Protein backbone atom coordinates (compact mmCIF):
# COMPACT_ATOMS: atom_id res chain seq x y z
CA UNK A 1 0.00 0.00 0.00
CA UNK A 2 1.50 3.37 -0.94
CA UNK A 3 1.39 6.63 1.01
CA UNK A 4 -0.02 9.83 -0.47
CA UNK A 5 1.66 13.25 -0.56
CA UNK A 6 -0.32 16.34 -1.60
CA UNK A 7 1.53 19.58 -2.29
CA UNK A 8 -0.06 22.95 -1.53
CA UNK A 9 2.34 25.43 -3.16
CA UNK A 10 0.95 28.63 -1.67
CA UNK A 11 2.28 30.86 1.11
CA UNK A 12 1.28 34.21 2.57
CA UNK A 13 4.78 35.47 1.80
CA UNK A 14 8.12 33.91 0.97
CA UNK A 15 10.52 33.37 3.88
CA UNK A 16 14.04 34.72 3.31
CA UNK A 17 15.72 31.28 3.46
CA UNK A 18 13.24 29.13 1.56
CA UNK A 19 13.64 27.69 -1.93
CA UNK A 20 10.76 25.21 -1.76
CA UNK A 21 8.27 25.50 -4.58
CA UNK A 22 5.52 27.93 -3.54
CA UNK A 23 3.86 31.11 -4.83
CA UNK A 24 1.80 33.85 -3.17
CA UNK A 25 -1.70 32.83 -2.06
CA UNK A 26 -4.43 34.19 -4.32
CA UNK A 27 -7.96 33.04 -3.60
CA UNK A 28 -9.14 32.76 -7.24
CA UNK A 29 -6.03 30.87 -8.33
CA UNK A 30 -6.26 28.55 -5.33
CA UNK A 31 -9.93 27.80 -6.07
CA UNK A 32 -8.84 26.60 -9.52
CA UNK A 33 -5.96 24.66 -7.98
CA UNK A 34 -8.28 22.85 -5.58
CA UNK A 35 -10.52 21.90 -8.52
CA UNK A 36 -7.43 20.54 -10.28
CA UNK A 37 -6.45 18.53 -7.20
CA UNK A 38 -9.97 17.10 -7.01
CA UNK A 39 -9.73 15.99 -10.66
CA UNK A 40 -6.33 14.42 -10.07
CA UNK A 41 -7.56 12.69 -6.90
CA UNK A 42 -10.55 11.24 -8.76
CA UNK A 43 -8.12 9.22 -10.90
CA UNK A 44 -7.42 7.06 -7.83
CA UNK A 45 -10.94 5.77 -7.19
CA UNK A 46 -10.91 3.13 -4.41
CA UNK A 47 -7.10 3.06 -4.23
CA UNK A 48 -6.04 1.90 -0.78
CA UNK A 49 -3.36 4.06 0.86
CA UNK A 50 -1.67 3.75 4.24
CA UNK A 51 -0.84 7.39 5.03
CA UNK A 52 -1.52 10.95 3.87
CA UNK A 53 0.75 13.97 4.18
CA UNK A 54 -0.58 17.37 3.10
CA UNK A 55 2.45 19.65 2.95
CA UNK A 56 3.69 22.81 1.33
CA UNK A 57 4.08 25.60 0.93
CA UNK A 58 1.45 26.33 3.52
CA UNK A 59 -1.60 24.04 3.56
CA UNK A 60 -3.17 26.05 6.40
CA UNK A 61 -3.28 29.18 4.21
CA UNK A 62 -6.21 27.56 2.35
CA UNK A 63 -9.66 28.81 3.35
CA UNK A 64 -11.99 26.63 5.38
CA UNK A 65 -14.04 25.91 2.25
CA UNK A 66 -10.95 25.00 0.22
CA UNK A 67 -9.69 22.60 2.92
CA UNK A 68 -13.15 21.04 3.20
CA UNK A 69 -13.36 20.47 -0.58
CA UNK A 70 -9.94 18.84 -0.66
CA UNK A 71 -10.54 16.56 2.33
CA UNK A 72 -13.99 15.59 1.05
CA UNK A 73 -12.47 14.58 -2.31
CA UNK A 74 -9.90 12.41 -0.53
CA UNK A 75 -12.63 10.74 1.49
CA UNK A 76 -14.85 10.09 -1.54
CA UNK A 77 -12.14 8.67 -3.78
CA UNK A 78 -9.35 6.91 -1.92
CA UNK A 79 -9.98 3.89 0.26
CA UNK A 80 -8.99 5.27 3.67
CA UNK A 81 -9.95 2.23 5.73
CA UNK A 82 -6.33 1.43 6.61
CA UNK A 83 -4.87 4.89 7.07
CA UNK A 84 -2.29 4.83 9.87
CA UNK A 85 -1.19 8.44 9.79
CA UNK A 86 -2.75 11.59 8.34
CA UNK A 87 -0.58 14.70 8.69
CA UNK A 88 -1.47 18.30 7.86
CA UNK A 89 1.16 21.08 7.93
CA UNK A 90 0.24 24.30 9.69
CA UNK A 91 1.84 27.72 9.82
CA UNK A 92 0.87 29.56 13.00
CA UNK A 93 -0.51 32.70 11.33
CA UNK A 94 -3.09 30.85 9.25
CA UNK A 95 -4.19 28.04 11.56
CA UNK A 96 -7.59 28.88 13.08
CA UNK A 97 -9.81 27.09 15.58
CA UNK A 98 -12.36 26.35 12.81
CA UNK A 99 -9.72 24.85 10.56
CA UNK A 100 -8.42 22.66 13.39
CA UNK A 101 -11.94 21.40 14.09
CA UNK A 102 -12.43 20.63 10.40
CA UNK A 103 -9.15 18.67 10.28
CA UNK A 104 -10.23 16.70 13.32
CA UNK A 105 -13.59 15.97 11.72
CA UNK A 106 -11.81 14.51 8.67
CA UNK A 107 -9.60 12.31 10.86
CA UNK A 108 -6.32 14.16 10.49
CA UNK A 109 -4.32 12.64 13.36
CA UNK A 110 -0.97 14.43 13.16
CA UNK A 111 -0.03 18.10 12.83
CA UNK A 112 3.29 19.55 11.79
CA UNK A 113 3.73 23.18 12.82
CA UNK A 114 6.47 25.44 11.41
CA UNK A 115 7.69 27.34 14.45
CA UNK A 116 11.32 27.85 13.28
CA UNK A 117 12.32 29.96 16.31
CA UNK A 118 10.91 31.04 19.66
CA UNK A 119 12.50 34.51 19.43
CA UNK A 120 10.45 37.18 17.65
CA UNK A 121 13.63 38.91 16.48
CA UNK A 122 14.80 35.66 14.79
CA UNK A 123 11.35 35.06 13.28
CA UNK A 124 11.48 38.54 11.85
CA UNK A 125 14.99 37.99 10.51
CA UNK A 126 13.84 34.73 8.83
CA UNK A 127 10.96 36.58 7.16
CA UNK A 128 8.28 34.63 9.01
CA UNK A 129 4.78 36.07 9.27
CA UNK A 130 4.03 34.83 12.80
CA UNK A 131 5.36 35.65 16.25
CA UNK A 132 5.92 33.29 19.18
CA UNK A 133 2.64 34.28 20.93
CA UNK A 134 0.65 33.28 17.83
CA UNK A 135 2.35 29.89 17.83
CA UNK A 136 1.56 29.35 21.55
CA UNK A 137 -2.13 30.11 20.93
CA UNK A 138 -2.29 27.72 17.96
CA UNK A 139 -0.51 24.96 19.88
CA UNK A 140 -2.91 25.40 22.78
CA UNK A 141 -5.97 25.36 20.49
CA UNK A 142 -4.67 22.27 18.70
CA UNK A 143 -4.24 20.43 22.00
CA UNK A 144 -7.72 21.50 23.14
CA UNK A 145 -9.15 20.29 19.82
CA UNK A 146 -7.78 16.86 20.67
CA UNK A 147 -4.54 16.77 18.66
CA UNK A 148 -1.88 14.95 20.61
CA UNK A 149 0.54 13.91 17.88
CA UNK A 150 2.24 17.20 16.99
CA UNK A 151 5.55 17.95 15.31
CA UNK A 152 7.38 21.25 15.61
CA UNK A 153 9.92 22.44 12.98
CA UNK A 154 12.84 24.57 14.15
CA UNK A 155 15.88 25.99 12.37
CA UNK A 156 19.26 26.36 14.12
CA UNK A 157 22.57 27.97 13.31
CA UNK A 158 21.24 31.41 12.40
CA UNK A 159 23.94 34.08 11.91
CA UNK A 160 25.26 35.28 15.29
CA UNK A 161 23.33 32.59 17.18
CA UNK A 162 25.53 31.02 19.85
CA UNK A 163 25.29 27.46 21.17
CA UNK A 164 23.88 28.93 24.41
CA UNK A 165 21.20 30.84 22.44
CA UNK A 166 20.19 27.63 20.70
CA UNK A 167 20.02 25.76 24.00
CA UNK A 168 17.55 28.40 25.23
CA UNK A 169 15.44 28.02 22.08
CA UNK A 170 15.42 24.26 22.54
CA UNK A 171 14.47 24.41 26.19
CA UNK A 172 11.54 26.75 25.44
CA UNK A 173 10.42 24.42 22.64
CA UNK A 174 10.74 21.41 24.95
CA UNK A 175 8.27 23.03 27.34
CA UNK A 176 5.50 22.08 24.87
CA UNK A 177 6.29 18.35 25.32
CA UNK A 178 5.42 17.74 21.69
CA UNK A 179 5.74 14.21 20.37
CA UNK A 180 8.07 15.02 17.49
CA UNK A 181 10.73 17.59 16.58
CA UNK A 182 12.23 18.29 13.14
CA UNK A 183 15.41 20.33 13.55
CA UNK A 184 17.25 21.72 10.54
CA UNK A 185 20.56 23.59 10.33
CA UNK A 186 19.99 26.79 8.34
CA UNK A 187 21.14 26.20 4.79
CA UNK A 188 21.67 29.06 2.42
CA UNK A 189 19.95 28.14 -0.84
CA UNK A 190 20.79 29.72 -4.17
CA UNK A 191 18.32 32.36 -5.32
CA UNK A 192 16.89 33.10 -1.86
CA UNK A 193 17.09 36.58 -0.29
CA UNK A 194 19.61 35.19 2.22
CA UNK A 195 21.83 33.97 -0.61
CA UNK A 196 21.55 37.27 -2.46
CA UNK A 197 22.47 39.33 0.61
CA UNK A 198 25.51 37.15 1.25
CA UNK A 199 24.38 35.63 4.54
CA UNK A 200 26.50 32.64 5.50
CA UNK A 201 25.90 29.75 7.85
CA UNK A 202 28.74 28.62 10.09
CA UNK A 203 29.15 24.83 9.73
CA UNK A 204 31.32 24.53 12.83
CA UNK A 205 28.84 26.24 15.13
CA UNK A 206 25.98 24.25 13.59
CA UNK A 207 27.90 21.08 14.37
CA UNK A 208 28.38 22.10 18.00
CA UNK A 209 24.68 22.93 18.21
CA UNK A 210 23.82 19.57 16.72
CA UNK A 211 26.01 17.76 19.30
CA UNK A 212 24.30 19.63 22.16
CA UNK A 213 20.89 18.89 20.62
CA UNK A 214 21.61 15.17 20.66
CA UNK A 215 22.59 15.36 24.35
CA UNK A 216 19.64 17.53 25.42
CA UNK A 217 16.95 15.67 23.49
CA UNK A 218 18.19 12.26 24.55
CA UNK A 219 18.00 13.40 28.19
CA UNK A 220 14.44 14.56 27.54
CA UNK A 221 13.27 11.20 26.23
CA UNK A 222 13.39 11.80 22.48
CA UNK A 223 14.66 9.14 20.10
CA UNK A 224 16.92 10.40 17.34
CA UNK A 225 15.53 8.23 14.57
CA UNK A 226 16.47 10.19 11.44
CA UNK A 227 19.19 12.75 10.69
CA UNK A 228 16.91 15.76 11.36
CA UNK A 229 14.09 14.07 13.26
CA UNK A 230 13.49 13.22 16.90
CA UNK A 231 10.41 11.52 18.34
CA UNK A 232 8.99 10.24 21.60
CA UNK A 233 8.62 6.45 21.76
CA UNK A 234 6.41 5.15 18.89
CA UNK A 235 5.85 8.66 17.51
CA UNK A 236 8.26 8.46 14.58
CA UNK A 237 6.54 9.75 11.44
CA UNK A 238 5.15 6.66 9.71
CA UNK A 239 4.65 8.45 6.37
CA UNK A 240 8.13 9.97 6.23
CA UNK A 241 9.78 6.78 7.49
CA UNK A 242 8.25 5.00 4.51
CA UNK A 243 10.11 7.39 2.17
CA UNK A 244 13.34 6.42 3.89
CA UNK A 245 12.44 2.75 3.65
CA UNK A 246 12.09 3.30 -0.11
CA UNK A 247 8.41 2.34 -0.11
CA UNK A 248 5.91 3.55 -2.70
CA UNK A 249 3.99 6.83 -2.58
CA UNK A 250 1.64 8.78 -4.82
CA UNK A 251 2.39 12.47 -5.39
CA UNK A 252 -0.49 14.82 -6.14
CA UNK A 253 -0.21 18.56 -6.81
CA UNK A 254 2.17 20.85 -8.66
CA UNK A 255 5.80 19.95 -7.98
CA UNK A 256 4.90 16.82 -5.98
CA UNK A 257 7.00 13.69 -6.48
CA UNK A 258 5.79 10.12 -6.50
CA UNK A 259 7.29 6.65 -6.64
CA UNK A 260 5.20 3.78 -7.98
CA UNK A 261 6.19 0.45 -9.54
CA UNK A 262 9.87 1.43 -9.74
CA UNK A 263 9.02 4.74 -11.47
CA UNK A 264 9.96 8.00 -9.85
CA UNK A 265 8.06 10.98 -11.22
CA UNK A 266 7.59 14.65 -10.53
CA UNK A 267 4.49 16.62 -11.44
CA UNK A 268 4.87 19.85 -13.36
CA UNK A 269 6.28 22.51 -11.00
CA UNK A 270 4.02 25.30 -12.17
CA UNK A 271 0.60 26.10 -10.74
CA UNK A 272 -1.06 27.22 -14.00
CA UNK A 273 0.52 24.33 -15.95
CA UNK A 274 -0.73 21.86 -13.35
CA UNK A 275 -4.25 23.31 -13.50
CA UNK A 276 -4.26 23.05 -17.33
CA UNK A 277 -3.00 19.44 -17.26
CA UNK A 278 -5.75 18.48 -14.83
CA UNK A 279 -8.36 20.14 -17.06
CA UNK A 280 -7.17 17.86 -19.89
CA UNK A 281 -7.36 14.95 -17.49
CA UNK A 282 -10.96 15.88 -16.75
CA UNK A 283 -11.68 15.78 -20.47
CA UNK A 284 -10.10 12.30 -20.46
CA UNK A 285 -7.24 13.09 -22.83
CA UNK A 286 -5.30 10.82 -20.49
CA UNK A 287 -2.22 10.15 -22.65
CA UNK A 288 -1.58 13.78 -23.45
CA UNK A 289 -2.27 14.73 -19.88
CA UNK A 290 -0.03 12.05 -18.36
CA UNK A 291 2.85 13.53 -20.33
CA UNK A 292 2.05 17.10 -19.38
CA UNK A 293 1.37 16.37 -15.74
CA UNK A 294 4.43 14.28 -14.99
CA UNK A 295 7.33 16.27 -16.39
CA UNK A 296 10.11 14.19 -14.89
CA UNK A 297 9.99 10.39 -14.97
CA UNK A 298 12.70 7.85 -14.31
CA UNK A 299 12.65 4.09 -14.22
CA UNK A 300 14.67 2.83 -11.26
CA UNK A 301 16.77 -0.08 -12.52
CA UNK A 302 18.30 -2.63 -10.13
CA UNK A 303 21.58 -0.75 -9.66
CA UNK A 304 19.85 2.57 -8.94
CA UNK A 305 17.36 0.80 -6.70
CA UNK A 306 20.19 -0.54 -4.57
CA UNK A 307 21.90 2.87 -4.38
CA UNK A 308 18.66 4.58 -3.37
CA UNK A 309 17.85 1.95 -0.80
CA UNK A 310 21.27 2.54 0.78
CA UNK A 311 21.11 6.35 0.60
CA UNK A 312 17.62 6.57 2.03
CA UNK A 313 17.96 3.75 4.55
CA UNK A 314 21.13 5.14 6.12
CA UNK A 315 19.11 8.19 7.16
CA UNK A 316 17.19 5.96 9.57
CA UNK A 317 19.70 6.02 12.39
CA UNK A 318 18.32 3.07 14.35
CA UNK A 319 17.12 0.89 11.49
CA UNK A 320 19.91 1.40 8.99
CA UNK A 321 20.17 -0.83 5.93
CA UNK A 322 20.24 -4.62 5.62
CA UNK A 323 23.79 -5.74 4.78
CA UNK A 324 22.39 -7.80 1.89
CA UNK A 325 21.45 -4.56 0.14
CA UNK A 326 25.14 -3.93 -0.51
CA UNK A 327 25.05 -6.45 -3.27
CA UNK A 328 27.02 -5.00 -6.13
CA UNK A 329 30.81 -4.90 -6.06
CA UNK A 330 31.09 -1.08 -6.11
CA UNK A 331 28.81 -0.72 -3.11
CA UNK A 332 30.64 -3.50 -1.27
CA UNK A 333 33.95 -1.70 -1.81
CA UNK A 334 32.59 1.64 -0.53
CA UNK A 335 30.99 -0.14 2.43
CA UNK A 336 34.34 -1.67 3.42
CA UNK A 337 36.02 1.75 3.18
CA UNK A 338 33.31 3.34 5.35
CA UNK A 339 33.48 0.55 7.94
CA UNK A 340 37.23 0.99 8.04
CA UNK A 341 37.09 4.76 8.57
CA UNK A 342 34.19 4.18 11.02
CA UNK A 343 31.72 6.51 9.27
CA UNK A 344 29.42 3.46 9.02
CA UNK A 345 28.98 0.73 11.63
CA UNK A 346 27.78 -2.88 11.49
CA UNK A 347 25.27 -4.23 14.02
CA UNK A 348 24.45 -7.88 13.33
CA UNK A 349 23.19 -7.77 9.76
CA UNK A 350 22.39 -4.03 9.67
CA UNK A 351 24.63 -1.21 8.49
CA UNK A 352 24.10 2.10 10.27
CA UNK A 353 25.44 5.62 10.09
CA UNK A 354 27.84 6.27 12.99
CA UNK A 355 26.39 8.99 15.26
CA UNK A 356 29.46 11.19 14.64
CA UNK A 357 28.98 10.93 10.86
CA UNK A 358 25.63 12.64 10.59
CA UNK A 359 27.30 15.88 9.49
CA UNK A 360 29.26 14.10 6.74
CA UNK A 361 26.25 12.12 5.51
CA UNK A 362 26.18 13.88 2.13
CA UNK A 363 29.80 12.93 1.46
CA UNK A 364 29.06 9.28 2.27
CA UNK A 365 26.08 9.33 -0.08
CA UNK A 366 28.24 10.74 -2.88
CA UNK A 367 30.69 7.85 -2.45
CA UNK A 368 27.87 5.34 -3.02
CA UNK A 369 26.36 7.31 -5.90
CA UNK A 370 29.57 7.78 -7.85
CA UNK A 371 31.47 4.63 -6.96
Ligand X SMILES: C[S@@+](CC[C@H](N)C(=O)[O-])C[C@H]1O[C@@H](n2cnc3c(N)ncnc32)[C@H](O)[C@@H]1O
Q: Site residues (CB under 6 A) for ligand X? A: 17-18, 20, 56-58, 89, 91, 114, 116, 153, 155, 184, 186-187, 189
CB of 116 to ligand X, least distance (A): 6
Phi first, then psi: what are they for 96, rounded to 5°? Answer: -105, 165
186, interface contact from ligand X, ligand SF4, none, CB < 5-8 Å by kind = ligand X
Rg (CA), the chain: 21
207, interface contact from ligand SF4, ligand X, none, CB < 5-8 Å by kind = none
Contacts with 367 (C-beta within 8 Å, 6 or more apart), sequence order: 334, 337, 338
Which of residues 51, 60, 87, 91 is near ligand SF4 by CB under 6 A? 91
Please report, to the nearest 10 degrees, the dihedral formed by the alpha carbons of residues 213, 150, 16, 365 taken in order: 60
Of 11 and 111, nearer to ligand SF4 (C-beta) is 11
CB of 337 to ligand SF4, least distance (A): 37
CB of 234 to ligand SF4, least distance (A): 28
| 58 binds ligand SF4, rule: CB under 6 A | yes
Of 114 and 251, nearer to ligand X (C-beta) is 114
CB of 362 to ligand X, least distance (A): 14
Name the residue number minimizing CB distance to ligand X: 114
How many other CB atoms are found less than 10 A from the CB of residue 346?
12
Contacts with 61 (C-beta within 8 Å, 6 or more apart), sequence order: 8, 10, 11, 12, 25, 91, 94
Determine the interface stretch with ligand SF4 among 56-64, 170-178, 287-295, 308-316 (rule: CB under 6 A): 56-64
Of 180 and 352, nearer to ligand X (C-beta) is 180
| 343 binds ligand SF4, rule: CB under 6 A | no
Strand order in the sheet with 350-353: 321-322, 350-353, 344-347
CB of 338 to ligand X, least distance (A): 26
264, interface contact from ligand X, ligand SF4, none, CB < 5-8 Å by kind = none
Return the ∠ at Cα 224 (arms to 113 and 50), rounded to 5°: 60
Of 155 and 351, nearer to ligand X (C-beta) is 155
Determine the interface stretch with ligand SF4 among 18-26, 174-182, 227-235, 308-316 (rule: CB under 6 A): 18-26
Determine the interface stretch with ligand SF4 among 51-59, 134-142, 198-206, 351-359 (rule: CB under 6 A): 51-59
Q: How far apart are CA 103 and CA 197, in angstroms?
A: 39
Of 34 and 90, nearer to ligand X (C-beta) is 90
Q: How far apart are CA 126 and CA 141, in angstroms?
A: 25
Side-chain half-sphere exposure of 254, counting CA atoms within 13 A: 25
Of 116 and 134, nearer to ligand X (C-beta) is 116
Phi first, then psi: what are they for 199, rounded to 5°? Answer: -70, 140
Return the ∠ at Cα 250 (arms to 269 and 247), rounded to 5°: 120
305, interface contact from ligand X, ligand SF4, none, CB < 5-8 Å by kind = none
**Plot region of 57 (φ>0 → left; ψ -120 to 50 → alpha; else → beta):** left
| 20 binds ligand SF4, rule: CB under 6 A | yes
Q: Tell me how far apart the terminal alpha carbons of the chain are, to the nearest angstrom.
A: 33
Of 186 and 310, nearer to ligand X (C-beta) is 186
Determine the interface stretch with ligand SF4 among 17-25, 138-146, 238-246, 297-305 (rule: CB under 6 A): 17-25
- Restricted to residues 100-119, the positions that interact with ligand SF4 (CB under 6 A) are 114
CB 51 within 8 Å of CB 4: yes
Q: Where are the beta strands (DSSP E) in 72-175?
A: 85-90, 110-116, 150-156
Q: How far apart are CA 64 and CA 87, in angstroms?
A: 17
Interface with ligand SF4 (CB under 6 A): 11, 14-15, 18, 20, 22, 56-58, 91, 114
Amino acid sequence: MPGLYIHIPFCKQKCHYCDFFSVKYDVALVDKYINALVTHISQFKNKKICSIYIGGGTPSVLSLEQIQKLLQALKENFNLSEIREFTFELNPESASKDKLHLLKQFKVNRLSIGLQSVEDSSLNFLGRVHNFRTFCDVYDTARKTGFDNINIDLIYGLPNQTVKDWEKVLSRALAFSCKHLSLYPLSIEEGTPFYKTGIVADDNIQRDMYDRTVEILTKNGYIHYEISNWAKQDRESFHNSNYWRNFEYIGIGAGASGYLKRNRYKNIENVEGYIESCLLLQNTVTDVCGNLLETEKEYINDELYESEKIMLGLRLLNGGVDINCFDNQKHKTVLLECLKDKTLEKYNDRIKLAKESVFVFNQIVLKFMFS
